[in-house]
Amino acid sequence: MLKTNRGFWKVFFLTLITFGIYSWYMIHKMSQEANLVDPNGKKVGGLVAFILLSLITFGIYALYWNYKVCNKFAANVRAGGTEPKFDGSKYLLWALLGSLIIIGPIVAFVKELHLWNDSNKVYNAQNFPEGQPAT
């Protein structure tokens, strides 16, 4: 079963304690789970691609990557029968335009975490109907 209880403060403090390494772990897990919940779509790059392409493009790839991941999670939530409250377009709006009010990128990240949790709930309900992983 996929985790459904990721929260901002836990990620924030673990990232601080590990001097940023936990954020790399989150990117790795997010790419794995985004590709898992949408097996028919085009795959998103993993951690190495994220780091290298983000450096080469001065951060533009990071925005594009998060846009794609949010759209994959939103499509999975939609497939589960509910309309997602957040998607890739809203991520870009918060991350870019929200930068003008300083807290926009943080809001975008928090909403992305909630969307990730919602997508994992849908995935778990579809693949583990009894609430327990298959043995």
**pLDDT tens track of the chain, all 135 residues?**
999 999 999 999 999 999 999 999 999 999 999 999 987 788 999 999 999 999 999 999 999 999 999 999 999 999 999 999 999 999 999 999 999 999 999 999 999 999 999 999 999 999 888 766 654
In a domain? residue 1: no
In a domain? residue 49: yes
Domain that holds residue 46: 8-127
Quick one: pLDDT at residue 33?
96
In a domain? residue 82: yes
Quick one: pLDDT at residue 55?
97
Quick one: pLDDT at residue 74?
96
Q: In total, how many domains does the chain have?
A: 1
Quick one: pLDDT at residue 129?
80
CA 129 → CA 44, 121, 126, 132, distances in Å? 27, 11, 6, 8
How far apart, in whole angstroms, are the C-alpha atoms of residue 105 and residue 92?
A: 9
How far apart, in whole angstroms, are the C-alpha atoms of residue 112 and residue 117?
A: 9
Tokens 């943080």 belong to 106
In a domain? residue 3: no
How far apart, in whole angstroms, are the C-alpha atoms of residue 100 and residue 78?
A: 31
In a domain? residue 135: no
Quick one: pLDDT at residue 40?
79
Q: Which two tokens stand for residue 36?
A: 């898992």
In a domain? residue 133: no
